Structure 1
Amino acid sequence: MEFRHLKYFVTVAQLRHFTKAAEQLGIAQPPLSQQIKKLEHELGVDLFKRLSRGVELTRAGEVFLKDAESILADAQRAEARVRQVARGESTQVNIGFATSTSTCIPVLEKMASIQSNGIHFNTAEMPMPELVAQLKNKQQDLAIMRVPCYASEPFERKRLLDDPFVAVIPAHHPLARFKSIQLHHLKEQKLLLFPRETGPALYDALSALLGDAGIRLQPQFASPQLRTTIAMAQAGFGIAIVPYSLAEHLDDSAVIVSIEGMTLTSQIVVAWQASNLNAQALNVVAKLSAISAGETR
């Protein structure tokens, strides 16, 4: 079966007339009729009922029309994508999320607002070391990550969201009755923090700020990941210090309390390799940046 036969068949089926179809296709009517007969012979069925004033689809023709139209539409989309790729305008953008950012609703909402413009996201979630490696190797066009981050320094970056640190306090804890606390309230408390290897720059900045306030971290209260500190706080192990976006959907086993004097803010950024010339990925960066800039005005 030749591709042109599908096009001929669909045109005749839509116009219900060989002569009109031939005019639209730019060919003579007799060769068109011969090609349709050849297609029918190949399929072993009649696709049309030949009438004095045109044609009608047989039952087999009606079934075949749906598939033929679908095949032609897929071919047109494939051709459009190939041409976009040739112009550096691929519609697919590979985006990797650092583990602590993949459930950040404001960032996901920003992405959803631009996906309807013909952009298709292929997303993945992974630990920061793997994400950085894939971004360097151009396996990911873009990465959503937190800063400060030593590993992100070689990349181009745009800020998407400021994510302030808060305290997640077990509901039965005496400090849980306050809407905000000061840093000195955290002295002598069991503070739950992610391990340094999870985010060295963020850990160093946070531990330095707490250290200046006279708060010393106890390594036995470290958790495997940022998210795990919240679960540990809910279970009553201590007070978790985490970015707000990770804690905004708590149940009543713990409360979120703001920290006065907490000058450190985790930023969620979109990062990319400077040598990555994927035009569609850079278009996504521009759109995300414009949305974020508009929100801060």
Structure 2
Amino acid sequence: MPTSPKKIALVTGGNRGLGRSVVEALAADGVDVVLTYRSHEDEAKQVVDAVADLGGRAEAIRLDVSETAAYAPFTDILRETLRAGWGRDSFDILVNNAGISGHTVLGGTDEETIDLLFAVHYKGVYLLTQALATAPEGTAPLLADGGRIVNVSSGLARFVTMPYAVYGSMKGAVEVLTRYWALELGKRGISVNTIAPGPVATDFADGYLRASEEAQRHMTGLTALGRIAQADDIGPAVAALVRDGTAWITGQRIEASGGFRL
């Protein structure tokens, strides 16, 4: 197969919510996508079809980012997917989006909850990016030189909302990590940034914000733009951050919150 001239993105957790919005926004910009999903394969297939309707190509690969032993076989599958679908040995954009929520009140938090949040939101982000953006000497990394990395953080790394202490702390750690990676990968022309959504009506925290009119009214009153966000407010922001002409932006935290708690 001839090499595809189109850019290719890898979006973790791309089957629903913010991840799906990111996939579809990238596809609308002419970027092809490989998306991962942990469960709900039917949703992943729907996203693949949605990208096709936009005139693009997408492939879905199962990956639980908390299972680090799965990274080696995942990278093998990804490499074969890139070769078979696009005639390439690399991709251009990595969006570390996959995530979970968890209540962590001091005095009422067990070790397993902390370990899982750490595994998904920090350890997984670090080790998966390491597997994709680096390679043994003499071989080429899967993430191409001149590429982009966007780490999805949260407004909860800036403002405090109970009971998300560990989640917010992990997102804060990823924001620091972003600056380190911007320096480490800059010599390859790779820019690395964080995007931090504010309150969004998605499945996060069992969809409490989407379900609670009271919470929506409260948060709307704290938002400069006068409403809470929907998932499709965030995907286009990520797509804008990786467009041609924005590569000089690196090592930055960009909050997409509508001006929440200014």
TM-score normalised by length of structure 2: 0.32
Q: Which has the larger radius of gyration?
A: 1
* Larger proportion of strand: 1
Which fold has the larger relative contact order, with Cα–Cα distance below 8 Å and residues 6 or more apart in sequence?
1
